[in-house]
Amino acid sequence: MLDTTGDYATVGQENGIGPGNKFFFLTGLFFPGGQTARTVTVPEGKALFFPIFNSEVDNAVDPPTDNSVPELKAIAKSQIDAATELSPTFDGHKVKIFHSTSPTFHYTVPDENSIYDYFGLVGSQFESTIKPAVADGYWAYIPPPSVGSHTLNFQSVATTGFSLNVTYELTVAASD
C-alpha cells in the first residue's frame, strides 16, 4: 500500500499466494486514499485479487480501545456502508465486485519495521499480537489474464472523505 510505483508488488508472492499459489494480490491506498499508478509484472497463470474498498478494525488505536467483536464488526460495517462509488475495470471492461466480511482474526506485529512504526505510533497496543480484529469490504477477482499488457483501474469514493483511484499497468509474463 505504501509502494507508489509497483516496484515491491511481487515481494512475497513471486510465485503467487493462497491455496496452490494461484493468486496475485494487488493493493489500494491507506485512508484518505488518493491517486497512484503502478507498473507490475505478474506471473502467468495467476488470478488477480484486490480490494476495491475495505476496512480492518481492531483495538490497536491511539488511544487504545477495548471494543468487543460485535462492536468492531459494527464499526467496520459502518465504514463500508459509507461507500458511494465502486468502479473497477480491466482492459476497459467492468469487473464484478463481491462483498465479504472476515471471521474474527489476529495478527502479530513484527519487532521492527511495522506499519505502526512507519506512522510513528508507539505504545503497548501496537506491539505483539493484536486481537481481536475484523475486516469488511468490497473485493474483486479476475481469472488469470493472458500473457501480455493489461490495464487495471479501480476507484472508490465514500462519505467519510475517502477517495481512491488506482491504475495498474500490468505485464503478464510467460512462464519459463
Nearby residues of 33 by Cβ (< 8 Å), 6 or more positions away: 156, 162, 163, 164, 165
- From first to last of its 176 residues, the chain has per-residue pLDDT tens of 888 899 999 999 999 999 999 999 999 998 889 999 999 999 999 999 999 999 999 999 999 999 999 999 999 999 999 999 999 999 999 999 999 999 999 999 998 888 999 899 999 999 999 999 999 999 999 999 999 999 999 999 999 999 999 999 999 999 87
- The CATH topology of domain 19-173 is Immunoglobulin-like (2.60.40)
Query: Grid coordinates representing 68?
Result: 468487543
> At residue 74, what are phi and psi to the nearest 5 degrees?
-65, -40
pTM: 0.91
Tell me the one-letter amino acid at 153: N
